[in-house]
Structure 1
Amino acid sequence: MTAHAAPSSRPLRWFVLSSSLALCVAMACGGGAKVDGSGDCTGSDCTSKNVCEKTYPGKCGTPCTSTADCDAGLHCGSDDKCTAACVQGQQGQCDEGLECTSDGRCRSPLLGFGGAGDGSGGEGGGDSCIDVNVSFDPQIPTVILLVDQSSSMNAGGGWSVPADYEPWGCETNGTWRWNVVRNVLFNPTSGVVKPLEDKVRFGLTLYSSDDFEIACPALDKVPVALNNYDAMLERFECSELIEDTPTQASLEDAVADLEAIDEPGPKIVILATDGEPDTCECPDFSGTHVPAECRGMNAAAKQQEAMDGVVASAGVARDKNITVHVINVSSPSNASLQAHLEDVAEAGGGTVYPGFSPDELQAAFQEIIDGARSCVLELDGEIASGKSSSGDIRLNGEKLAYDDPNGWRVNSPTQIELLGEACEAIKTGNHELTIKFPCGSFIVR
């Protein structure tokens, strides 16, 4: 998530996978101050208590997590309480060369919305810390939906759906595996893709072949892009099945497409299949329509070779930082297929999910895509050396622990990451996230 400074000090509302997010990095310290003969505070060498209580009685010291929590003229101090070191428009309260901001801070008019001093302040000091809102864009996941288009993606092989299942969009064969996958992905009201099309780069590859009669693999593809729902739905036609299952070659093509995309964020293949793979050389392992080396005494070895090839290609994907998740769209009784798909997912760094019913398919696709959302935050600046633990990161007002399995950690001076329960929380729903570093601990670009 790449950050850019913005002149606002309101706390962000974290809308998961939204196109524009905000990260509040509040750096609070005094602005250099003096006390005149009357005892009035004319700067921040004295505390801000005198100015604050004299000008804003009853409003100073109110607990806060950001300046937005404070009344006009005040800001959220480093002690998480509302305060003011000066009053905008009044003279003599800030050091020479500093001006009072609308939220009661003394700062240089040349400082703008960037830069943090060393926190010294004081007599003659020119450095000052200000609240800085840092907006950022999420790291967008890139996902290719790789869907088996073989002839077995119908209603055979033990596939069944509940009596109350409501097909969508297909006048016939609405309960076929293929058409149920279509419903789960592209139903405009309940499908997975529509609400996320502007938050996930989706691509679609439908794969099959037909006993040497057409190209192998036969790939019907929609290139990866944002806002891809309409293009993918148009390509995923009802009951449009072919014949074979050349999974290895098709997976390798999807991985190559992802590898060519030069964008930050996770890259994922979601393989949805209901059968063990064949190959372009051996589209089946029996029958006179296939070469002799693919059938008879050679059949078992060739089929194992096909399965091993898929596992190997999933491992290559993982080596390229591309995760392969698998959804089993067959039936619970197919133990050999389940074992094979577990091997594929393990090699690809992913998970195999049951897709034996519409509800399970929905849950599988949703969980995979939710899991793709990044918990890594790129900051518009860097944390000062040795100051990592000084950060105050809060999720929905609750402070997260530094270097805690369910808190946050620093990956680099410009990057932090939410962990465990905190990470899982921001992947769904609406949340408020604030990040604060004390004066001298964060340097804005």
Structure 2
Amino acid sequence: MATSSRACHLSLLAALACGCGRTDPQWWADIYASEDDTGEQGETLGTETSAESSDTASSESESSESESSESESESSDTASSDTASSESESSESESDTGGCLDPQPFSIAPTPASVVLLVDQGAHMDQDFDGLSRWEAITEAVFEPDSGVAWTWESALRLGLSTYTSFNGDNGGTCPVLAEQPPDLDNAAAMEALWLTQVAEDENPTGDAIAALAAALGGSGRRHLVLLSARDPDTCATPNPQSGADAAVLAAQAAFAQGIALRVVDLGDGDLDAGFAQSLANAGLGLEPDGPIDAPLWAPADTAALRDELDALLGSLHSCEFELSHSLVDGGEQLCTFTLDDQPLVLADPNGWTVSDSAHVELLGAACSALDQGAVPAMSCACEAY
């Protein structure tokens, strides 16, 4: 195409030359030289244009590839960032709840029960019991070094001791006369030291002694008095005759209303009226004194039986208070369930459960009594409860 165009151009020049009278050789040589320069320039320009076009296309291609690569990189980075963010949020979410799953079981540990052995110190405690005096039988059953119940249970229960008597009731001055070692863990040695300073004395104002101990026995959860007696009671107001049965029952009922249960151990061998002993035992556990349901009543026949029955009795006692594995937030108990033998209890019910503080809960009324029968407690809470 370039050769044909050049020939046409030369033909046109030749015609012009003839018309103008220019036919000398030099003129034609100049024309040819001019044509060669123009062609070379055209070819050069064409080549440069083609090269530039190629370079431009190549550059655009590289730019497109670069942009595509950057886009893919950004997309990958964004996806990676989103994934990392999602994982981070998930991690933070798990961290916020401690990996908690609803409902979360709580580990609940019973707190040691407070138990006071309340021992009748009347003169009748010197009478025979299985070849020993009643007082001596108690000494062996409670404080014998190898098997005495005080040593057996001192690390598991907050044990205490109180003896009671009077010297002609109010007429003799202070009534009741108490010798006390307050309940505590690992308390057997202190209890024994007190016991060895005491002997059987005079009267036995049982109701007055129960009332005095109930007023002094503080603390949370269910607390316990274990009464060891051998004669019908008198009172501070009337030391003789022994007409204090009703007063003793009323005192036991009042103590139970304060969260203090009373158990009765009869060492009287007939000197303690059986009907009164059962009424007192019933009242001590919140039952009707003369109702159709009888509370447990212990009446051992000898020293070995006294030790064994005291051992079983102490082993059955509960504080009805539990320490929680996690402290509850304010109102957190509303997100919790407490069960006995898989049956849910009602919160803040007189026979259900309640919160003592952020780290303790307490069973009440019938729920507490059910622990004595071997009911199994359990608790679970939503994560937000603690």
Which protein shows a greater Rg? 2
Instruction: Give deviations 1:268-304, integer Å, cap 9, x for gaps.
Output: 111110111122343333xxxxxxxxxxxxxxxxx43
Write the distance in 2 (CA, Å) between the matches of 1:187 and 1:135.
36
Compare 235-244 and 406-415 and name the one that shifted more: 406-415
Instruction: Give 1:383 shift.
Output: 7.3
Aligned to 2:130: 160
Aligned to 1:366: 311
Aligned to 1:223: 182
Return closer, same or farther for 1:93/1:378 CA change in 2, 3 Å cut-off: farther
1:36-47 counterparts in 2 under 5 A?
none
Higher relative helix content: 2
- Contact 1:204–1:224 (CA under 8 A) maintained in structure 2: yes
- Contact 2:222–2:321 (CA under 8 A) maintained in structure 1: no
1:190-269 counterparts in 2 under 5 A?
190-211=147-168, 212=171, 215-237=174-196, 240-258=199-217, 261=218, 263-269=219-225
Return closer, same or farther for 1:419/1:326 CA change in 2, 3 Å cut-off: closer
Aligned AA (2:215) = A
Root mean square deviation, CA, Å: 3.8
Instruction: Give 1:206 shift.
Output: 0.6
Write the distance in 2 (CA, Å) between the matches of 1:383 and 1:206.
41
Instruction: Give deviations 1:322-367, integer Å, cap 9, x for gaps.
Output: 2111110111x44x62211111111222642113322332233233
Structure 1, gaps ≥5 residues long: 1-91, 100-105, 117-128, 162-174, 286-302, 392-401, 428-432
- Contact 2:249–2:280 (CA under 8 A) maintained in structure 1: yes
3-state DSSP class of the match of 2:130?
coil
Structure 2, gaps ≥5 residues long: 1-82, 286-294, 348-353, 356-360
- Contact 1:272–1:326 (CA under 8 A) maintained in structure 2: yes
Return closer, same or farther for 1:187/1:265 CA change in 2, 3 Å cut-off: farther
Aligned to 1:122: none
Task: Indicate yes or no: 2:78 matched with 1:97.
Answer: no
Write the distance in 2 (CA, Å) between the matches of 1:419 and 1:320.
14
Write the distance in 2 (CA, Å) between the matches of 1:284 and 1:153.
17
Write the distance in 1 (CA, Å) between the matches of 2:200 and 2:119.
11
Write the distance in 2 (CA, Å) between the matches of 1:268 and 1:235.
20
Task: Indicate yes or no: 2:209 matched with 1:271.
Answer: no
Write the distance in 1 (CA, Å) between the matches of 2:263 and 2:282.
9
- Contact 1:197–1:227 (CA under 8 A) maintained in structure 2: yes
Return closer, same or farther for 1:383/1:348 CA change in 2, 3 Å cut-off: closer
1:275-314 counterparts in 2 under 5 A?
275-285=231-241, 303-304=242-243, 306-314=244-252
Q: Identity, % of aligned pairs?
A: 22
- Contact 2:176–2:236 (CA under 8 A) maintained in structure 1: yes
- Contact 1:145–1:271 (CA under 8 A) maintained in structure 2: yes
TM-score of the aligned structures, taking structure 1 as reference length: 0.52
Write the distance in 1 (CA, Å) between the matches of 2:368 and 2:254.
27
Aligned AA (1:199) = A
Return closer, same or farther for 1:227/1:426 CA change in 2, 3 Å cut-off: farther
Instruction: Give deviations 1:293-324, integer Å, cap 9, x for gaps.
Output: xxxxxxxxxx43x2211111112112222211
Return closer, same or farther for 1:97/1:444 CA change in 2, 3 Å cut-off: farther
- Contact 1:202–1:225 (CA under 8 A) maintained in structure 2: yes
Write the distance in 2 (CA, Å) between the matches of 1:113 and 1:148.
55
Write the distance in 1 (CA, Å) between the matches of 2:195 and 2:202.
16
Instruction: Give 1:227 shift.
Output: 2.5
3-state DSSP class of the match of 2:202?
coil
Write the distance in 1 (CA, Å) between the matches of 2:319 and 2:198.
35
- Contact 1:147–1:273 (CA under 8 A) maintained in structure 2: yes
TM-score of the aligned structures, taking structure 2 as reference length: 0.59
Return closer, same or farther for 1:109/1:138 CA change in 2, 3 Å cut-off: same
3-state DSSP class of the match of 1:206?
strand
Identify which of structures 1 and 2 has the higher relative contact order when contacts are C-alpha pairs closer than 8 Å and 6+ apart: 1
Question: Which of 120, 123, 126 is 1:148 aligned to?
Answer: 120
Write the distance in 1 (CA, Å) between the matches of 2:191 and 2:162.
9
Compare 246-255 and 365-374 and name the one that shifted more: 365-374
Aligned AA (2:196) = E
Aligned to 1:409: 344
Aligned AA (1:370) = G
